Amino acid sequence: LAIARQVGLPAERALTGPELDALDDAGLDAALDGATLFARTTPAQKLRIVERLQAGGAIVGMTGDGVNDAPALKRADIGIAMGLRGTEVARGAADIVLTDDDFSSIVAGIEEGRRQHDNIRKSVRYLLSSNAGEVLTVLGSLALGGPLILLPAQILWMNLVTDGMSALALG
169: pLDDT confidence band, cut at 50, 70 and 90?
Answer: confident
Q: What is the pLDDT of residue 34?
A: 75
Contacts of 98 (CB under 8 A, 6+ apart): 80, 81, 82, 83, 105, 106
Q: What's residue 29's pLDDT?
A: 92
Residue-wise pLDDT for 59-74, tens only, equals 999 999 999 999 999 9
Final residue belonging to a domain, choices 43, 69, 102: 102
- State mean pLDDT over 142-147: 90
| CB-based contact 44:60 (threshold 8 Å) | no
Confidence tier at 165 by pLDDT (50, 70, 90): confident
Q: Which domain holds residue 26?
A: 2-102
Are 21 and 76 in the same domain? Answer: yes
> Among 113, 109, 89, which Cα is nearest to 100's?
109
Domain of 55: which CATH number?
A: 3.40.50.1000
pLDDT at 170 exceeding the cut of 90:
no
User: 35 pLDDT exceeds 70?
Assistant: no
One domain for residues 65 and 113: no
Burial of 168 (0-12, 13-18, 19+ CB in 10 A): exposed
Q: Report the candidate in 82, 138, 128 with the shortest Cα–Cα distance to residue 106.
A: 82
Are residues 27 and 86 both part of a single domain? yes
Whole-structure pTM value: 0.68
Is residue 16 located within the same domain as residue 78?
yes
* Domain final position from 63, 83, 102: 102
**Whether residue 76 sits in one domain with residue 146:** no
pLDDT digits (tens, 9 = 90+) for 87-121: 999 999 999 999 998 888 888 889 999 999 998 89
54 lies in the same domain as 77: yes
Structural domains in the chain (count): 2
The rounded distance, in Å, linking the Cα atoms of 19 and 93 is 27
- Which carries the bigger pLDDT value, residue 9 or residue 143? 143
On whether both 117 and 155 belong to a single domain, the answer is yes
Report the percentage of the chain scoring pLDDT > 70. 99
Q: How many residues does the chain have?
A: 171
